């Protein structure tokens, strides 16, 4: 991806040269046709007289560049996505006229055609810095500016930007060229002009243009202003979204009120639109006043409970960014975590306290921390405040450490300084730096002032070092059958003599952290059959050893749960008897968060080779029968899948997978009709296992109606789940899939059909779709996102994937150099042939890394390869521990 990178040093030099706040006027014309659009950028800016700097621009063609009234020779000053500006004066005006190219994979200005009705939809995605793909710009977060957009587009469309439209009129005599924007006739052009934005970063500017369906309401802001709210989607999803618009507006308003209350800063902008768009290459983006998100959240079929909850969390996450990230923005991408961690923490807090999803902290434990704990144990782990030398570093740091570990640290910080002081400090941080940029030190200053607690050492240990700690419990007791709980004996309870917590750190990251955590005592209630918390102690843990003084002399409970309520970020190791009881009785625990903490504890032990893989599968199957927290259900099922496919020894793997498949079918039959549990079990049976002898009969029966479950509807989404499962087992051909698609040709169904074809276990089919994904640039990011994982779904077919072990490493560098980052990221993550023999992948991966040392290839590419190989290395090690 040459030409679009930017180093931190270059950004600092440019910020030094550019003085004050630039002002942009950007004019776009999207009536030219299906490939390109016209862009005219005029920038007024002050600079240090005599300085030189550069603008960012990635264009199909640059027609002219004028600086302070003088035409510059394009061929001399424009190269490698940069425009050189020399001999600047104190006050400067530059104008750049260019042609931009529409994106197929989401970067810059995306153009999508809905196959169901032929409508064309445009929208922007500028994060990290891809505003340069639409207009000439100083594309870095600390050169904040004001922006005035205007654009020409077909008159029947709507046009949205960060600010409201101030004027629009049809352009006399201007017509679009027939057939260039869609299949319809030519029509008049409308010219829209938008209000000038407040001071903001370029990556937060946005446009959404097209024949979108729309809904509107108002929100009465606490400061007395009325904020216009809008929701938008393409026409073919209008009926689906219309059923949920009132609900989504309620969630949005609840979030606005909650954030204003917590921070003492009302919503700062003039409007708040949320546009659900096709083929989006991310979940959502927090553009000021115009959030753009994937239109998968316009539900056309039944979805699992965790997906419904995730939509609410996404809405609240992007809304939190309006304050944290947009109103106050990081100076450079090394403080990206300030944006993402804070928005993640607040999405969960607001979800728990202001929506019906009261168990969302269990989702945080099972979902968010699941990803962070995985990444934090890889060789490529990094601090929450990661060194970001250039934009490529930024791309790969959009990960679970930046989001989830950072959010877990913030949750811990709240308990460290106290909630009232924490939010008082946030209020000062936001108000003191409104519309500006800030750093971690600015945040720490505000929290120190508000709480009176020193933050620097605490923050240094938590934020500037990678890796995680492990806290293990050790108990001695009197009156027990062996006078020691550590024996693992489950005899009569005695009293606790001493409860000790021991903190350790990995050898390569030997940092012990201060933890504010809770210890919970849990006991079986014989009357109800439920395990409930009977006592709880909250304490500080710092250093290697901490004695829980309050526990001494108390009756020995069935389970001593370390990190009760999931207050801190750590691996937990229970004392042996607690672990034994919890493994046998996980399904009995009444509290969803306690179950999530325990389930993740057993998963961590399984992943480390410290807990038998098949026992983890058995306890999971038993607990799934009674688990109703949707995200805990989803992610525990995923962990069970990883365990069965990679950690169970190869000679027992097929039998274990078949056993799980058979047990899931029994659970489906026993599940409450119409429940989320029933829906998730059916989906998991089809998507993740599909290995029992009766699978084909079950799947075809569901498809033709000869097999039914009360409350389970075979809607479009479930139908494609069944079809993809049949295809992955070799029971459907490409022609079968094409016939199914022809009966209902939508963009979503096209994605499903391509994924189904990629999963067919035929070497010739695999070869064709491997080549297609690598080389066909007409495929959208969303199509590749479905196709690449589907390519790797043929469990137990190492023969299919062994050829791609060599191919992956042979093609990795080519993919990185020739595809955009977002596409390369998908291909390199999901085309890694994980079902080839782990030993083969490790040997090939190590050889590739030796031949591509740091400095020879981009660090971001090396990190992707290192992570992939590390998964195989871990699989081989854990499999060996289970023999």
Q: What is the pLDDT of residue 370?
A: 84
Does the pLDDT at position 1 exceed 80? Answer: no
Instruction: Report in angstroms the alpha-carbon separations of 224 from 119, 218, 378, 519.
Output: 39, 12, 50, 45
How many degrees, rounded to 5, is the angle at CA 407 between CA 506 and CA 467?
10
Pair (307, 387) in one structural domain: no
Separation CA 180–CA 504 (nearest Å): 64
Pair (113, 243) in one structural domain: yes
Pair (310, 365) in one structural domain: no
Separation CA 348–CA 354 (nearest Å): 10
| 141: β partners | none
441-459 per-position pLDDT tens digit: 999 999 999 999 999 999 9
Does the pLDDT at position 129 exceed 90? Answer: no
Taking all residues of the chain, what is their mean pLDDT, rounded to a whole number?
Answer: 94
Pair (317, 333) in one structural domain: no
Q: Answer yes or no: is 693 within a domain.
A: yes
Q: What is the pLDDT of residue 519?
A: 98
Q: What is the pLDDT of residue 490?
A: 42
List CB contacts of 778: < 8 A, sequence separation 6 or more.
Answer: 104
Does the pLDDT at position 483 exceed 80? Answer: no
What CATH number is attached to the domain comprising 697? Answer: 1.25.50.20
Separation CA 828–CA 831 (nearest Å): 6
- Dihedral angle over CA of 219, 223, 226, 231, nearest 10: -40
Which residue, among 42, 33, 83, has the nearest Cα to 62 in the 3D structure?
83
What CATH number is attached to the domain comprising 341? Answer: 1.10.390.10
Give the DSSP H or E segment for 123: strand 120-125
Q: Answer yes or no: is 532 within a domain.
A: no
Tokens representing 473? 């419990």
Pair (232, 362) in one structural domain: no
Q: Answer yes or no: is 586 within a domain.
A: no
Separation CA 229–CA 160 (nearest Å): 12
Q: Answer yes or no: is 511 within a domain.
A: no
Contact of 714 with 703, CB cutoff 8 Å = yes
Radius of gyration of the chain (CA): 28
Active site residues: 318
Separation CA 275–CA 110 (nearest Å): 14
Separation CA 808–CA 22 (nearest Å): 45
Of the three residues 321, 341, 359, the one that is the final residue of a domain is 321
Place 33 in a pLDDT band, splitting at 50, 70 and 90.
confident
Contact of 798 with 875, CB cutoff 8 Å = no
Total domain count for the chain?
A: 3
511-568 per-position pLDDT tens digit: 999 999 999 999 999 999 999 999 999 999 999 999 999 999 999 999 999 999 999 9
Place 138 in a pLDDT band, splitting at 50, 70 and 90.
very high
Instruction: Please give the average per-residue pLDDT across 704-731, as a whole number.
Output: 97
Q: What is the pLDDT of residue 488?
A: 43
Residue that the structure tokens 């938590």 belong to: 462
Stronger pLDDT, 232 or 387, i.e. the higher one: 232
Pair (305, 420) in one structural domain: no
Query: What's the domain range around 614?
Result: 592-881
Pair (273, 391) in one structural domain: no
Contact of 374 with 400, CB cutoff 8 Å = yes
Does the pLDDT at position 422 exceed 90? Answer: yes
Place 176 in a pLDDT band, splitting at 50, 70 and 90.
low
Pair (195, 281) in one structural domain: yes
Separation CA 600–CA 364 (nearest Å): 11
| 151: β partners | 28, 192
Instruction: Please indicate, yes or no, whether the overall pTM of this predicted structure exceeds 0.75.
Output: yes
Let me know if 549 is exposed, middle or buried by CB neighbors in 10 A (0-12, 13-18, 19+): exposed
Q: Answer yes or no: is 497 within a domain.
A: no
Backbone angles phi, psi at 605, to 5 degrees: -65, -40
Which residue, among 599, 688, 679, has the nearest Cα to 641 in the 3D structure?
688
Does the pLDDT at position 484 exceed 50? Answer: no
Q: Answer yes or no: is 557 within a domain.
A: no
What CATH number is attached to the domain comprising 141? Answer: 2.60.40.1730
Q: Answer yes or no: is 504 within a domain.
A: no
Which residue, among 554, 480, 485, has the nearest Cα to 521 in the 3D structure?
554
215-235 per-position pLDDT tens digit: 999 999 999 999 999 999 999
Contact of 140 with 204, CB cutoff 8 Å = no
Pair (40, 164) in one structural domain: yes
Pair (702, 778) in one structural domain: yes
List CB contacts of 843: < 8 A, sequence separation 6 or more.
Answer: none
Q: What is the pLDDT of residue 444?
A: 95
Of the three residues 397, 431, 463, the one that is the final residue of a domain is 463
Pair (295, 343) in one structural domain: no
DSSP, residue by residue, 748-799? HHHHHHHHHHHT---HHHHHHHHHHHHH-TTS-HHHHHHHHHHHT--TT-HH
Does the pLDDT at position 807 exceed 70? Answer: yes
Pair (70, 156) in one structural domain: yes
Q: Answer yes or no: is 769 within a domain.
A: yes
Of the three residues 300, 321, 342, the one that is the final residue of a domain is 321
| 6: β partners | none
Instruction: Report in angstroms the alpha-carbon separations of 141 from 105, 201, 639.
Output: 23, 5, 38
Q: What is the pLDDT of residue 179?
A: 43
Which residue, among 516, 518, 514, 493, has the nearest Cα to 505 in the 3D structure?
514
Place 184 in a pLDDT band, splitting at 50, 70 and 90.
low
């Amino acid at each position: 991806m040459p030409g679009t990178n930017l180093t931190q040093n270059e950004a600092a030099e440019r910020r030094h040269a550019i003085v004050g706040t630039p002002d942009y006027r950007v004019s776009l014309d999207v009536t030219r046709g299906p490939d390109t659009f016209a862009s005219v950028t005029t920038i007024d800016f002050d600079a240090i007289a005599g300085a030189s700097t550069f603008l960012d621009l990635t264009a199909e063609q640059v027609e002219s560049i004028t600086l302070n009234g003088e035409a510059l020779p394009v061929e001399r000053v424009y190269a490698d996505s940069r425009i050189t500006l020399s001999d600047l004066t104190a006050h400067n005006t530059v104008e750049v006229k260019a042609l931009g190219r529409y994106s197929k994979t989401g970067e810059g200005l995306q153009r999508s055609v809905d196959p169901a009705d032929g409508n064309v939809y445009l929208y922007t995605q500028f994060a990290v810095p891809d505003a340069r793909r639409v207009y000439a710009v100083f594309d870095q977060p600390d050169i904040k500016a004001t922006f005035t957009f205007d654009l020409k587009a077909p008159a029947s469309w709507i046009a949205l930007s960060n600010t409201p439209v101030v004027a629009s009129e049809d352009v006399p005599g201007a017509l679009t060229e027939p057939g260039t924007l869609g299949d319809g006739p030519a029509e008049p052009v409308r010219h829209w002009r938008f209000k000038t934005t407040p001071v903001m970063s370029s990556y937060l500017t946005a446009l959404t243009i097209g024949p979108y369906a729309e809904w509107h309401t108002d929100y009465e802001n606490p400061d007395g202003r009325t904020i216009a709210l809008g929701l938008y989607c393409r026409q073919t999803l209008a009926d689906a979204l219309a059923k949920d618009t009132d609900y989504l507006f309620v969630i949005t308003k609840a979030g606005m009120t909650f954030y204003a209350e917590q921070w003492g800063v009302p919503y700062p902008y003039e409007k708040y639109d949320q546009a659900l768009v096709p083929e989006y290459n991310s979940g959502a983006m927090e553009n000021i006043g115009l959030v753009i998100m994937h239109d998968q959240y316009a539900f056309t079929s039944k979805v699992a409970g965790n997906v419904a909850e995730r939509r609410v969390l996404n809405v609240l996450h992007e809304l939190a960014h309006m304050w944290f990230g947009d109103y106050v923005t990081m100076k450079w991408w090394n403080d990206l975590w300030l944006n993402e961690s804070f928005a993640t923490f607040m999405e969960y807090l607001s979800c728990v306290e202001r929506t019906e999803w009261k168990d969302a902290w269990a989702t945080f434990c099972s979902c968010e921390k699941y990803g962070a704990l995985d990444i934090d144990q890889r060789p490529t782990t990094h601090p929450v405040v990661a060194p970001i030398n250039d934009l490529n570093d930024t791309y790969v740091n959009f990960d679970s450490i930046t989001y989830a570990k950072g959010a877990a640290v913030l949750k811990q910080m709240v308990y460290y300084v106290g909630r009232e002081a924490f939010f008082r400090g946030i209020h000062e941080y936001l108000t003191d730096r409104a519309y500006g940029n800030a750093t971690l030190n600015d945040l720490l200053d505000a929290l120190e002032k508000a709480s009176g607690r020193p933050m620097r050492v605490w923050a240094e240990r938590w934020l500037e070092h990678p890796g995680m700690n492990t806290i293990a419990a050790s108990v001695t007791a009197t009156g027990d059958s062996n006078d020691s709980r550590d024996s693992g004996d489950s005899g009569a309870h005695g009293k606790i003599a001493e409860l000790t917590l021991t903190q350790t750190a990995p050898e390569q990251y030997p940092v012990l952290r201060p933890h504010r955590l809770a210890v919970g005592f849990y006991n079986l209630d014989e009357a109800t059959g439920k395990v409930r918390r009977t006592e709880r102690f909250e304490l500080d843990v710092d250093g290697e050893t901490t004695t829980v003084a309050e526990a001494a002399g108390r009756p020995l409970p069935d389970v001593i749960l370390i990190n009760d309520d999931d207050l801190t970020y750590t691996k937990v190791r229970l004392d042996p008897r607690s672990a034994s009881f919890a493994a046998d009785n996980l399904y009995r625990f009444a509290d969803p968060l306690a179950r999530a903490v325990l389930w993740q504890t057993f998963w961590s032990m399984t992943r480390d080779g410290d807990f038998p893989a098949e026992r983890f599968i058995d306890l999971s199957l038993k607990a799934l029968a009674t688990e109703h927290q949707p995200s805990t259900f989803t992610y525990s099922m995923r962990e069970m899948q990883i365990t069965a496919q990679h950690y169970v020894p190869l000679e027992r793997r097929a039998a274990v997978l078949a056993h799980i498949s058979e047990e899931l079918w029994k659970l489906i039959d026993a599940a409450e009709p119409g429940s989320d549990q029933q829906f998730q079990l059916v989906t998991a049976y089809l998507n993740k296992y599909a290995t029992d002898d009766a699978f084909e009969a079950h799947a075809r029966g569901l498809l033709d109606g000869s097999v039914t479950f009360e409350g389970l509807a075979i809607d479009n989404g479930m139908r494609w789940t069944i079809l993809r499962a049949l295809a992955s087992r070799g029971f459907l051909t490409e022609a079968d899939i094409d016939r199914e698609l022809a009966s209902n040709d939508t963009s979503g169904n096209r994605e499903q059909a391509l994924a189904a074809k990629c999963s067919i276990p035929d070497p010739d089919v695999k070869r064709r779709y491997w080549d297609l994904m690598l080389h066909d640039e007409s495929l959208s990011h969303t199509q590749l996102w479905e196709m690449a994982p589907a390519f790797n779904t043929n469990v137990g077919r190492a023969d299919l994937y062994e050829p791609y072990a060599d191919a992956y490493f042979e093609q990795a560098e080519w993919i990185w150099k020739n595809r955009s980052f977002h596409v390369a990221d998908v291909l390199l993550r999901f085309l890694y042939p994980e079902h080839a023999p782990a030993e083969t992948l490790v040997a090939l991966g190590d050889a590739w890394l030796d031949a591509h040392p740091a400095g020879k290839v981009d660090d971001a590419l090396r990190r992707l390869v290192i992570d992939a190989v590390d998964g195989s290395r871990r699989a081989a090690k854990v499999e060996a521990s289970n023999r």
